[in-house]
């Protein structure tokens, strides 16, 4: 420990990162799934330890992190200190996958930087084989998750109007009132009404009014990558509640591997490393993997043994397989009127009209969106309330100064509009998370290798989304300037399918309660369990699955 020059201040001592005596539950990962599981179990009297690979981030630093995020000298990854050997990866697949663009390692996990959009999957998402003769049905259905969706919405503090006529049935309103539509949303609403396209509000995990000791949103507009006010939900909330209920949370302790008993039937310990390079074993009666759709399969693959030479819980050979993503389709341009742009930071209006029937036509008084006979996946249409160039970027790239620059900014900013959409991939075994032994992390472990390609059905669905977007924008009178579609699409960074759920141990990794088939005391609440991807942002479903796992564990302990 080093003292300051005057001897009055000293550095804070490192926290104790030695293992606890054998606990009831060891949770790996302090993101939304880990935080919810840890809180519920600790609150019910169970002895819980949480192991998190990344650091704790001080909430007092949020404003500085926001300022860093909007300065051109800093990249988005720097905001949450991503990069370097710890976060190395490779992408040997057909397409480059930019894994670190939207990852965050630390207490809070992905919710540190997420946009905060939270929708329930549709009933149809659980029955793609029965309904569309593609992929497989989930071994659970919407009704199994319905009460947990409601609990998850309360836990996260979801603002919504419950006005979506295409959404699955619900028994209660959202906990908080919805955010008002933006001005550009109102412009879209008029065009959509003429075309016969129904618009509705978007559920958001951010406070429209004070809730759960967090303030209402104050409009910084930088939700992704950082919310300085704390109005947006992060899993830090439930990690803190878990600690208040008696759980122990260790940060900066990346788990290196899981060790099982002699029979290969139960996990005995999580072996983790501390910042000083020492390894420790945390023993527990039950283990919960909650570090996401990439790091969960990576840890299982790293935990190979004589009993499991291909990786832990991998007797099916499917750990890491069936990696799925949501792909983005978008289109935008300018109007001959002001759109009152304001970087709200989150979407307030969508249309799920083409979700269950993506090929359906839309008939309105002005013109129609034609039907499509192609085999298509679900489409979630988004109306973007900030679509133009950043004034900061415009000023930095301009060759003028003073009043002339100000005039250019006034003329070139404030009349842009755009639409987005998400479509989902079908599960394909060749899309997978594997290990790359040729590249290692800071502890010498093989890094994740992302094998990824986009199938023809997804490309057709992206083209269909563009067709609908073009019809709406042209009806609005937009001079279309850019398109993102089948040939230049990118991922939404929703990692799904890598530890898939099923009843048959030969064709899945976890059972319908998300317990691994191979080991009786290992649960994996994650979007990795998704059998199909749908087109909805996955975090609310992850939260619902986590709460369901916590109840299952509570009944068994």
Residuewise pLDDT in 10s, the chain (557 residues):
333 344 444 456 789 999 999 999 999 999 999 999 999 999 999 999 999 999 999 999 999 988 888 876 666 667 899 999 999 999 998 999 999 998 999 999 999 999 999 999 999 999 999 999 999 999 999 999 999 999 999 999 999 998 999 999 999 999 999 999 999 899 999 999 999 999 999 999 999 999 999 999 998 888 989 999 999 999 999 999 999 999 999 999 999 999 999 999 999 999 999 999 999 999 999 999 999 999 999 999 999 999 999 999 999 999 999 999 999 999 999 999 888 767 788 999 999 999 999 999 998 888 789 999 899 999 999 999 877 777 777 787 888 989 998 888 777 778 889 999 999 999 999 999 999 999 999 999 999 999 999 999 999 999 999 999 999 999 999 999 999 999 999 999 999 999 999 999 999 999 999 999 999 999 999 999 999 999 999 999 999 999 999 999 999 99
Per DSSP bridges, beta strands 432-440 and 446-451 are antiparallel
Cα separation, 335 vs 480, whole angstroms = 9
CB atoms within 10 A of CB 92: 13
Q: In whole angstroms, what separates CA 104 from the centre of its chain?
A: 11
At 425 the pLDDT is: 96
Which residues have C-beta within 8 Å of that of residue 119, sequence separation ≥ 6? Answer: 167, 202, 203, 380, 536, 537, 540
The pLDDT score that the predictor gives to residue 74 is 63
Q: What is the pLDDT of residue 386?
A: 76
What's the pLDDT score for residue 398? 85
pLDDT, position 8: 43
Largest Cα separation within the chain, whole Å, is 78
Q: Is 468 left (phi over 0), alpha (psi -120 to 50) or beta?
A: alpha
Q: What is the pLDDT of residue 3?
A: 39
* Helix or strand run (H / E) with residue 149: helix 142-156
How far CA 31 is from CA of 52, 283, 344, 401, in Å, comes to 9, 21, 25, 46
pLDDT at residue number 4: 39
Q: Which two tokens stand for residue 441?
A: 């992390």
CA-wise closest residue to 421 among 467, 452, 371: 467
Separation in Å, CA 313 to CA 32, 105, 337: 23, 24, 58
CATH numbers and ranges of domains, the chain: 23-556 (3.50.50.60)
Q: Are 230 and 59 in contact (CB under 8 A)?
A: yes
Q: Where are the beta strands (DSSP E) in 254-372?
A: 255-260, 267-273, 279-289, 326-334, 349-351, 362-363, 368-369
For CA atoms 140, 142, 146, 151, the dihedral sign is positive
For 287, list phi and psi in degrees, rounded to 5: -130, 140
Helix ranges (H only) for 199-264 are: 236-244
Burial class (CB in 10 A: 0-12, 13-18, 19+), 95: middle
> Across the chain, what does the average pLDDT equal?
93
Identify the DSSP state of 111.
G
Count of CB atoms within 10 A of residue 173's CB?
12
pLDDT given for residue 67 in this prediction: 86
């Amino acid at each position: 420990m080093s003292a300051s020059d005057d001897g009055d201040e000293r550095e804070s001592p490192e926290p104790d990162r030695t293992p606890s005596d054998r606990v009831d539950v060891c949770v790996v990962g302090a993101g939304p799934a880990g935080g919810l599981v840890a809180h519920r179990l600790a609150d019910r009297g169970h002895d819980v330890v949480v192991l998190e690979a990344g650091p704790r981030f001080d909430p007092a630093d949020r404003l500085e992190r926001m300022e860093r995020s909007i300065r051109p000298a800093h990249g988005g990854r720097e905001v949450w200190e991503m990069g370097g050997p710890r976060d190395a990866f490779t992408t040997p697949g057909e397409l480059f996958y930019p894994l670190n663009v939207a990852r965050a390692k630390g207490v809070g996990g992905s919710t540190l930087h997420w946009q905060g959009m939270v929708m329930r999957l549709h009933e149809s998402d659980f029955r793609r084989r029965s309904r569309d003769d593609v992929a497989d049905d989930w071994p659970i259905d919407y009704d199994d998750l319905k009460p947990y969706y409601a609990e998850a919405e309360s836990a996260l503090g979801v603002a919504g109007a419950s006005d979506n006529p295409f959404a699955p049935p619900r028994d209660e309103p959202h906990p908080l009132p919805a955010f008002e539509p933006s001005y550009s949303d109102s412009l879209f609403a008029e065009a959509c009404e003429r075309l016969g396209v129904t618009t509705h509000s978007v559920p958001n995990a951010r406070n429209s009014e004070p809730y759960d000791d967090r303030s209402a949103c104050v409009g910084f507009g930088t939700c992704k990558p950082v919310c300085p006010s704390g109005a947006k939900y992060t899993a830090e909330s439930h990690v803190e509640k878990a600690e208040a209920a008696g759980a122990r949370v260790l940060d900066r302790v990346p788990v290196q591997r899981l060790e099982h008993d002699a029979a290969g039937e139960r996990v005995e310990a999580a072996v983790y490393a501390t910042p000083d390079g020492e390894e420790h074993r945390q023993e527990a009666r039950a283990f919960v993997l909650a570090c996401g759709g990439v790091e969960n399969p990576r840890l299982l693959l790293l935990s190979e043994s004589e009993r499991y030479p291909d990786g832990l819980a991998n007797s099916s050979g499917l750990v890491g397989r069936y990696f799925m993503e949501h792909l983005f389709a978008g289109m935008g341009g300018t109007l001959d009127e002001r759109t009152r742009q304001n970087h709200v930071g989150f979407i307030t209006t969508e249309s799920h009209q083409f979700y269950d029937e993506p090929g359906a036509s839309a008939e309105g008084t002005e013109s129609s969106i034609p039907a499509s006979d192609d085999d298509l996946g679900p489409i979630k249409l988004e109306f973007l309330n900030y679509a133009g160039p950043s004034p900061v970027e415009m000023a930095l790239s301009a060759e003028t100064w003073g009043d002339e620059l100000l005039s250019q900014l006034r003329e070139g900013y404030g009349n842009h509009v755009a639409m987005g959409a998400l479509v989902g991939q079908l599960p394909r075994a060749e899309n997978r998370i594997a290990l790359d032994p040729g590249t290692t992390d800071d502890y010498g472990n093989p890094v994740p290798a992302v094998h990824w390609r986009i199938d023809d059905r997804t490309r057709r669905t992206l083209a269909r989304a563009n067709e609908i977007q073009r019809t709406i924008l042209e009806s609005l009178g937009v001079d279309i300037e850019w398109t993102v579609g089948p040939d230049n699409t990118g991922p939404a960074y929703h990692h799904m399918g890598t530890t898939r759920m099923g009843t048959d141990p030969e064709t899945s990794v976890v059972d319908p309660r998300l317990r691994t088939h191979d080991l009786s005391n290992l649960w994996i609440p994650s979007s990795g369990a998704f059998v199909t991807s749908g087109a909805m942002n996955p975090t609310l479903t992850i939260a619902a699955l986590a709460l369901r796992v916590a109840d299952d564990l509570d009944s068994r302990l």
